[in-house]
Amino acid sequence: MRSVKSRAVSCFVAVLTAAAAMFGVLTLSLSTSGAAVRHHHVAGASSVSASAVNGATTSAQFQVCDVAGDGGQNGATFPIQEASWSGSFHEIYTLTASAPPGGCGAKYSTSPGALLAVEQAASPGVPVPNVNAAFTVANGTLVGMVSNIDFAVVRVNAGLTVLTITDTTPPPPSTGTLELCKRASDYFVSGSFDFNVTGAGGFSSAQSVLTNQCNDLTVPSGNVSITETARFPYALASVASFPSTAVVSSDLNTQSAVVSVPPNGMSTVFFSNATLTGYAKICKTLDRSQDNVLAGQTFTFPVTVTFNGSTILSTSVSVQAAPFGTTACTFLANKRGPIRLPLGSTVTATETVPAGASFQPVGTSISPANLNAGSSTGTAVFYVGNLPAPNNFGSFGAGSVTQATFTNEALGSVEVCKTSSSINQGTPFQFSVGGVGPISPVPVGLCSGGFQLPVGTTTITETPVAHVSTFLSTTAGGTLAGTTATVTVPYNTENIVTFDNEIKSGMLKVCKAQTSSDAGLQTTAFNFNYSYTVNGVLHSFAASLTPPKAGYPLGQQCAPAITVPVLNGDLSQVKITITEQTTSVPNVAVGDQNLPNNQGVVVTGPDTVVSQPTYPHPVSTPSGTPATVVVNSLEGVTNVIFINGIFVGLLG
C-alpha cells in the first residue's frame, strides 16, 4: 500500500503537471520523497505563460511569508505546499498571518533561476474559503499564477527571493431586491403558492406568495434561481419581469426561471398561473325499445359546479332524447361554447321529474367511472377530468370530457277493478301486480288505485277462490290464463283491468231404485221433497218416483236435474236437503245390505255428503220416518239415489 506521504505527493504532482502545461515548462520531475500532503485536484485554472530557465551558478535562497491584509486575518494560520520544479524539494507547513513582513517560513537554499511552486490551500487544489490571497515577489520573478486555487510559480534570483502572500477578508457580496409576484391568468386561480429561491454564496429562501400579491426579499445580486412548487390544478403559464430583460431564462415545464438582480437595485418577476381545465356534459339514453315513446322529448337538469368549496356555476341543461340505442348529450356551455371547468371541480346534476310524470330515471352512470363522486338514480355527482387534490395525478385530465348519462324509461299505469253479479258487493279479493307485488284487497264493486309501471306489459294475478270463475276485460288489452292476466301498460295513460268473478253451479238429480227385483216395489210411488237456500232465499222442489223392476244398480228412475249454485254471495257453501217421505207399503226401509256399509242412499258425482240416514231406515208407516240426505253443492252432475227394500222382521 502506498504511504500517505506518497499519495499526497501524487496529488500535488497533479497540480504541478497542470501548471507545467499552462506555464510552458519543458520538463517536470518531482520525486516522491517530499513531506506528506493531502489529496487534491486542479479545477478552473486560468491560462498564464512562463519560460523555463535551467541551472544557475551562484547561490540563492527562497522564503514564503504570510501577511495579514486586514484585522480579520491577523493570527490566522494557512497551509502551504512548496516544491522545487527540479523535484529535489517538497514540503508542507503552515504560516501564521501577521503584520508586514508577516509570518515567514524557513529559507530554502537553491540555485538562481530555479523554479519553485507554492500553493496556499485547504487541501491540494482547493483554496482556503472566504479568503482572498494576493502573491508578490521580492528579488524574483512571478512566472505565473492560478488565482482560483491560490497557486503561484516563482523564478528565484541570486540572494534571497521572498514570496509574500497577503491574505484579506473578501468584502460581503453585494445584494439587491427581488420582488416575487404571483399572478392569476384566470379567475379560478386563488390561494398561496410556494417558491424556492436560491442565489450566490449558498443563498436559499422558501417563499409563500398569495395570488395577486408580491413578496420582497433581499438576495445576492446576480443571477437568482426561482422554482415554483406544483399545485393542482394550476400550471405555470408565463414568466415576465420588470425590467423585461431581468428574466435570463424560464422553463414552464419545470415551473422555474433565472432572474438577474442588480446590486442595490430591484428586479420584479411575475409568475402567472393558469388553471388546468376540462369539460362536462349531460347525456340522455333510453332503457328499452318500448321507451321510444320518449324520443324527441326534452329533459331538464339543474346543475351546480363547486371548486375549492365555492359554487362557480349554477345553470340548467336540457337534452332531447333520441331513439333507443342512441345517446344524446349536451355540454355545460354558454354562448361562447363549452365551459372550461377546473380539474377536480365537482358537478352535481339532478334530473327534473315532475309529479305524475310519464317517465322515470332508472340509472345514472359516469364516464370515466373513477370520477364518480357518489351518484344515485336520478342524480349525478362527479369530478371534472381528475380527482381533487391530494388524490390527483398532476396535469392528467386537462382538456378531457367527463360525462354523466341518465337512463330513462317510459311509464303508464294499470288499475285493478273487481265486479260480480253473484258475489256480494264489498267481498274482498287478493291481487298481485308484476313490478309492484301484493296490493291491498280489491272489494267487489270497487277498483284499486293506479299503479305506475314501465311501458310494455305486466301481469296481474288474482288469488284463486274455489268454485268461482274468472273473466277479464281491459281498456288497453290483455289476456287471461287461469287467474293471471297479462296486460298492456300504455304510455302516459291507464289500463283499467277488470276481473269479473261469478259463482259456479252444479246439477242435481234425485233418483229412486229398489234393492232387487224381488222387493216388489216397482209399482210403488215414492214422494220426495228437496230444497236449498241461496243468499237467504229458499228454493224448493218435489218429485214422485217409482223404481224400475230391476234392482240397483241396473234400474233407477230420476227426476229432472236442477241447477244449484255452489256458493252463496258471501262465498259460504250451499247445501241441498233431499227427503224421501214415508209410505203405506209395509216393511219398506232405505238401505241395501249388498252395498258397502249397507248404504241406503248412494251419491254419485262431485257433491259431498254432509249427512244421510243410518241403515236400515224404515219409511213405512206407522213407525217409519222420512229419510233425509244433506249434500254440499259442487260443480258437475250429481245423482242422489235412494234405494229401498223390504226388511221383514226389522220394522216391528
pLDDT tens track for 338-365: 999 999 999 999 999 999 899 999 999 9
Q: Based on C-alpha coordinates, what's the Rg of the chain?
A: 60
Judge if the upstream peptide bond of residue 368 is cis by omega within 30 degrees of 0.
Answer: yes
The mean predicted confidence, pLDDT, of the chain is: 90
Nearest CA to 261 out of 176, 200, 199 is that of 176
User: Model confidence at 597, in pLDDT bands (50, 70, 90)?
Assistant: low
Nearest CA to 487 out of 500, 501, 497 is that of 497
User: Model confidence at 320, in pLDDT bands (50, 70, 90)?
Assistant: very high
Count CB neighbours of 471 within 10 A.
12
pLDDT exceeds 50 at position 377? yes
Instruction: Give mean pLDDT, residues 144-159.
Output: 92
pLDDT exceeds 90 at position 591? no
Instruction: Give mean pLDDT, residues 321-345.
Output: 97
Q: Which three cell numbers stand for residue 55?
A: 541551472
Instruction: Give mean pLDDT, residues 291-307.
Output: 97
Instruction: Give mean pLDDT, residues 594-621.
Output: 88
DSSP symbol at 290: G
Lowest mean pLDDT among 27-31, 35-39, 556-560, 561-565: 35-39
Structural domains in the chain plus CATH codes? 4-168 (2.60.270), 175-275 (2.60.40.1140), 412-503 (2.60.40.1140), 505-646 (2.60.40)
Nearest CA to 451 out of 437, 472, 470 is that of 437
**Bridge partners for 116 per DSSP:** 84, 154
The confidence score (pLDDT) of residue 171 equals 83
The confidence score (pLDDT) of residue 44 equals 30
In the chain, % of residues over pLDDT 90: 79
Q: What are the C-alpha distances in Å from 99 to residues 67, 130, 164, 171, 229?
A: 6, 19, 12, 20, 52
User: Model confidence at 14, in pLDDT bands (50, 70, 90)?
Assistant: low
User: Model confidence at 650, in pLDDT bands (50, 70, 90)?
Assistant: low
In the chain, % of residues over pLDDT 70: 90
The confidence score (pLDDT) of residue 89 equals 76
The confidence score (pLDDT) of residue 15 equals 52
pLDDT exceeds 50 at position 48? no
Q: Which three cell numbers stand for residue 556?
A: 233407477
The confidence score (pLDDT) of residue 573 equals 97
- Residue 54 vs residue 531, higher pLDDT: 531
> Rounded to an integer, what distance in angstroms lies between the CA atom of residue 441 and that of residue 447?
10
The confidence score (pLDDT) of residue 7 equals 45
pLDDT exceeds 70 at position 649? no
Q: Which three cell numbers stand for residue 193?
A: 403558492
pLDDT exceeds 50 at position 537? yes
Nearest CA to 434 out of 460, 454, 473, 464 is that of 460
- pLDDT (tens digit per residue) in 441-488: 999 999 999 999 999 999 999 999 999 999 999 999 999 999 999 999
Q: What is the number of alpha carbons within 13 Å of residue 188 lying toward its C-beta?
A: 24
pLDDT exceeds 60 at position 332? yes
> Rounded to an integer, what distance in angstroms lies between the CA atom of residue 291 and that of residue 383?
30
Count CB neighbours of 502 within 10 A.
15
The confidence score (pLDDT) of residue 321 equals 98
The confidence score (pLDDT) of residue 652 equals 47
> Rounded to an integer, what distance in angstroms lies between the CA atom of residue 460 and that of residue 496?
12
> Rounded to an integer, what distance in angstroms lies between the CA atom of residue 597 and that of residue 28?
149
The confidence score (pLDDT) of residue 180 equals 98
User: Model confidence at 593, in pLDDT bands (50, 70, 90)?
Assistant: confident
Q: What are the C-alpha distances in Å from 318 to residues 286, 287, 351, 562, 628?
A: 15, 19, 10, 71, 82
User: Model confidence at 24, in pLDDT bands (50, 70, 90)?
Assistant: very low
- pLDDT (tens digit per residue) in 301-315: 999 999 999 999 999
Mark residue 160 as left, alpha or beta (left: phi above 0; alpha: psi -120 to 50; beta: remaining).
Answer: beta
The confidence score (pLDDT) of residue 598 equals 64
Helix (H) or strand (E) holding 6: helix 4-23
pLDDT exceeds 70 at position 400? yes
Instruction: Give mean pLDDT, residues 594-605.
Output: 82
pLDDT exceeds 70 at position 403? yes
Instruction: Give mean pLDDT, residues 207-228.
Output: 97
Where in 477-536 does DSSP place strands (E)? 478-481, 484-489, 494-503, 505-514, 526-534
Nearest CA to 319 out of 262, 380, 368, 387 is that of 380
Lowest mean pLDDT among 14-23, 185-194, 243-252, 391-400: 14-23
Q: pTM for the complete prediction?
A: 0.68
The confidence score (pLDDT) of residue 8 equals 46
Instruction: Find out whether 493 and 476 touch, Cβ atoms under 8 Å.
Output: yes
Q: What is the number of alpha carbons within 13 Å of residue 368 lying toward its C-beta?
A: 13
